[in-house]
Structure 1
Amino acid sequence: MNEITIGFILLGVLFALLASGFWIAFTLIAVSFAGLMLLGNDNFGLLYSTSTWGAVSDWSLAALPLFIWMGEILFRTRLSKDLFEGLTPWLSRVPGRLLHVNILSCGIFAAVSGSSAATAATIGKMTLPELKRQGYDDKMAIATLAGSGTLGLLIPPSIILIVYGVAAEVSIGRLFMAGALPGIMLVIMFMGYTAFWAMRQKSDKVQQTIHYSWAQKLRSLARLIPVSALVIFIIGSIYGGLTTPTEAAAFGVLGSLVLALSSRSLSLNSFIDSLMGAVKTSCMIIFILAGAAFLTMAMGFIGLPRMLAENIALLDLSPYMLLFLMTIMFVILGCFLDGISVVVLTTSVVLPMVIEAGIDPLWFGIYIVLVVEMSQITPPVGFNLFVIQSLTGRNIFFVAKAALPFFLLLVAAVFIVTVFPEIVTWLPNSMSRG
């Protein structure tokens, strides 16, 4: 049986198991077993133990549960609420006004959460009721939250960048640096579109603008200082070479606990809930990584990655055409899988093609995260859509339609970083030279 036949059989098994609702990690392991059986290799136990141990014992992965725990602590305390109340006075005169709170709050919270779903859920709980009370357009309120919630995947520290860095053997610190400028670019694009939309509207439903004095604005900054200081310390320590991402994550957890205690919003129950939430999420991700490592080894034995890379090389595709086809593939996969699963499923297969085409793996990491962000607001299973649907009770297709402009902005962002790759590579390259 040749590689192509085995590949089609395994693809059928993969989609059949995913469609049946089988756990993603178990699906990856089952497909790996099926591939080895078709190949006639019966060393399942030895191959599984060696591949999974190597995948989950990487020291870089220690940052993963720590960053998740930090986000869980902030999610369950009043620190996240302080973001909303601290930003509101400064945005009262900007076109779109409080709609920008969604975007900036998501951008700031993403930098300490690293999770798209946690970002959308945390900010949405605070902002959506207030925006509705003040008469803001329901569709636009949902749209800004859905689009900006995806920033949790890109703005460092990002869980998915850690996963990609481990899978592709790329420096996680350099990936964090590479994600900073594209993340800021997206925030500016989202705010620009929101201001443009607001200037075109002629609705008088929104309550009259509240005028804040400079004294009130300066007092509101006090609410932003704790979380902002935590963000600056974490990112600055990594960029400055003072700490590794794992060490920065440990300091981040300690800092979030100190801030939560000082604000008197951390109870024993919230502490236990944050710890258990981090354990559950981390175990899920690491289990998926273990299954993906086993699948990578099985695919290596079968020879599928090598065959695909050779066949694509024979097609003589330009790097732009290769990226175009991969963008379509990632968006389709993202409609059925979460972002982390997309990355671990595809990295081992596509990375040889990417390197063969002369594409920088560091740049490709940011590209793949941007494309996965697009899939987070694409029906039928965009994770952010489900989060916002649960918050609003709206039909998921209403939420998806509302998020369409921000989906198109993400498409534009992918185009921009493809034409101008220096947006991604300039900061890590300049920091390494310094």
Structure 2
Amino acid sequence: MDPVTVGIILSVILLVALAAGIWVAISLTIVGAAGMMMFSSAPVGSIAATKFWELSSSIALTALPLFIWMGEILFRTQLSANMFSGLAPWLTRLPGRLMHTNVLGCGIFAAVSGSSTATCVTIGRMSLPELKKRGYDEKMSIGSLASSGALGLMIPPSIIMIVYGVAAEVSIARLFIAGIIPGLLMMSLFMGYIAVRAIMDPARTPASDITMSFIQKVRNSWQLLPVILLIVGVIGSIYGGIATATESAAVGVVGALAIAAATRSLSWASFTDSLMAATRTSCMLALILSASAFLSTAMGFTGIPRFLASTVGDMQLDPIMLLVVLTLLFIVLGCFLDGVSVIVLTTSVVMPMIAAAGIDPIWFGIYLVIVVEMSVITPPVGFNLFVLQSLTGRDIFFIAAGCLPFFLLMVATVAILILVPEVATYLPSQMYGR
């Protein structure tokens, strides 16, 4: 049977499984097993056991539960309140004033969380009541927070980068370093838009009610010191070549426990809650990744990746046209699937096409993370939309409308990344060489 027909049959099986509410990991395993049994003579059981064991025992995967645990620990501290009071006094002279706390707060917390949802919830609980009390535009407040929460996927340490790194078999440390400049670029675009909107419509920005001397501002900023030290410890240890991504995750957990203890947020209850929450999330992601690894192997037996790679070569699509097509595909998938599912469902098929087109897999990982960031603010399955709905009581469409300008800025970031690939490749090339 030709690969196109095989692909259609397996796609139908996957869609039926997902529509039936079967877990993503089980659905992937079903599709892989069906493909091998129907279209090859390979031993399904032994290959599945081998792949699940290889992935679950991978040393690279050790960083995943550690970074998740670090974020869960910090989620239960006073970090968000400290960040707001430390940042707010310095933003009163900027157009848009305290609206920028959403972007900066999410950017800082993303650097010690790695999770979009945790970033959105943590900063939202502090910033949204403050912005509403002061009379800031609600749609802009909600939209900027939901979109800035997506920075948790981009700014290292990013859980989804670990997922991509394991699935695509590329260096997680290189991905972390490559995500720094694109993350800062996206923050700058978000803050620039907020400032421009404030200048065009000053009535949207209430007058500042914060009056502090320079010394008082500096004193307040000392509350940011613990999180800054943690960021330096985690990212600096990787950039300085002192630690691997996994070792830096251990540094992050120790630092997070120290911050929790220093802020009197560390109790036996909070410790066990954070540990159990991290365990549940880690087990879910590890199971999905293991199933994805099995599916990738199964796809190899069906011949679909080889067919797609040769098809791309025969079409002679230039890399930019290929990326345009893939961007549209990922945006559509992101409307119905979460980011991890998008990556694990597509990596086995897309990576041969990327290799055939001569695209750097590290660069592609950053591109993919940005596109996946769009999925957390696109209905009907945008996780950050649900988070903000629970925090504000607003309906999904109101929140999505507030996110639309920032969604377009994410598209602009993708365009910049395509036109200037050095945005993602410069730092890794400087640190590790080509």
| CA–CA separation in structure 2 for the residues paired with 1:140 and 1:205 | 11
| CA–CA separation in structure 2 for the residues paired with 1:205 and 1:178 | 35
**Which segment drifts farther, 213-222 or 1-10?**
1-10
| CA–CA separation in structure 1 for the residues paired with 2:432 and 2:17 | 44
Task: Report the Cα offset of residue 310 of structure 1.
Answer: 1.1
- 2:277 maps to 277
CA deviations on 1:134-154 (whole Å, 9 max, x unpaired) are 111100000110110110001
Q: 1:81 to 1:313 in 2, by over 3 A?
A: same
Unaligned regions of 5+ residues in structure 2, if any? none
Task: Report the Cα offset of residue 181 of structure 1.
Answer: 0.5
| CA–CA separation in structure 1 for the residues paired with 2:321 and 2:254 | 46
| CA–CA separation in structure 2 for the residues paired with 1:167 and 1:433 | 23
Alignment partner of 1:251 is 2:259: no
CA deviations on 1:282-333 (whole Å, 9 max, x unpaired) are 0110010011111111111111111111112111111000000000111111
| CA–CA separation in structure 2 for the residues paired with 1:208 and 1:232 | 32
Task: Report the Cα offset of residue 209 of structure 1.
Answer: 3.5
| CA–CA separation in structure 1 for the residues paired with 2:163 and 2:429 | 21
TM-score (norm 2): 0.97
- 1:224 maps to 224
Task: Report the Cα offset of residue 179 of structure 1.
Answer: 0.4
Q: What letter corresponds to residue 84 of structure 2 in structure 1?
A: F
Q: What letter corresponds to residue 76 of structure 1 in structure 2?
A: R
Contact 2:137/2:204 (<8 A) preserved: no
Q: 1:350 to 1:42 in 2, by over 3 A?
A: closer
- 2:86 maps to 86
- 2:338 maps to 338
- 1:245-324 alignment to 2 at 5 Å? 245-324=245-324
- 1:346-365 alignment to 2 at 5 Å? 346-365=346-365
Contact 1:135/1:207 (<8 A) preserved: no
Task: Report the Cα offset of residue 40 of structure 1.
Answer: 5.0
| CA–CA separation in structure 2 for the residues paired with 1:115 and 1:221 | 24
Alignment partner of 1:161 is 2:145: no
Contact 2:97/2:205 (<8 A) preserved: no
Task: Report the Cα offset of residue 79 of structure 1.
Answer: 2.0
- 2:28 maps to 28
CA deviations on 1:12-60 (whole Å, 9 max, x unpaired) are 1111221222211111111112212212537222111011111221101
| CA–CA separation in structure 1 for the residues paired with 2:205 and 2:100 | 17
Task: Report the Cα offset of residue 94 of structure 1.
Answer: 1.1
Q: What letter corresponds to residue 282 of structure 1 in structure 2?
A: S
Q: What letter corresponds to residue 288 of structure 2 in structure 1?
A: I
- 1:35-114 alignment to 2 at 5 Å? 35-41=35-41, 43-114=43-114
Contact 1:88/1:98 (<8 A) preserved: yes
- 2:142 maps to 142
Unaligned regions of 5+ residues in structure 1, if any? none
| CA–CA separation in structure 2 for the residues paired with 1:60 and 1:433 | 21
Q: 1:148 to 1:205 in 2, by over 3 A?
A: closer
CA deviations on 1:352-388 (whole Å, 9 max, x unpaired) are 1111111111111100001111121111111111111
Contact 2:308/2:352 (<8 A) preserved: no
Matched residue pairs, number? 434
CA deviations on 1:370-426 (whole Å, 9 max, x unpaired) are 111112111111111111111111111111111000000000000001100111111
Task: Report the Cα offset of residue 157 of structure 1.
Answer: 0.5
| CA–CA separation in structure 2 for the residues paired with 1:283 and 1:361 | 26
Contact 1:374/1:407 (<8 A) preserved: yes
Contact 2:96/2:205 (<8 A) preserved: no
SS in structure 2 at match of 1:266: coil
Q: What letter corresponds to residue 287 of structure 1 in structure 2?
A: L
Q: What letter corresponds to residue 197 of structure 2 in structure 1?
A: W
Q: What letter corresponds to residue 195 of structure 1 in structure 2?
A: A
| CA–CA separation in structure 2 for the residues paired with 1:424 and 1:205 | 34
Q: What letter corresponds to residue 202 of structure 1 in structure 2?
A: P
Q: What letter corresponds to residue 148 of structure 1 in structure 2?
A: S
| CA–CA separation in structure 1 for the residues paired with 2:106 and 2:174 | 23
Task: Report the Cα offset of residue 249 of structure 1.
Answer: 0.5
Q: CA RMSD in A?
A: 1.4
Percent identity, aligned pairs only, is 58
Provide runs of 4+ in structure 1 moved above 4 Å: none
| CA–CA separation in structure 1 for the residues paired with 2:294 and 2:171 | 22
Q: What letter corresponds to residue 43 of structure 2 in structure 1?
A: N
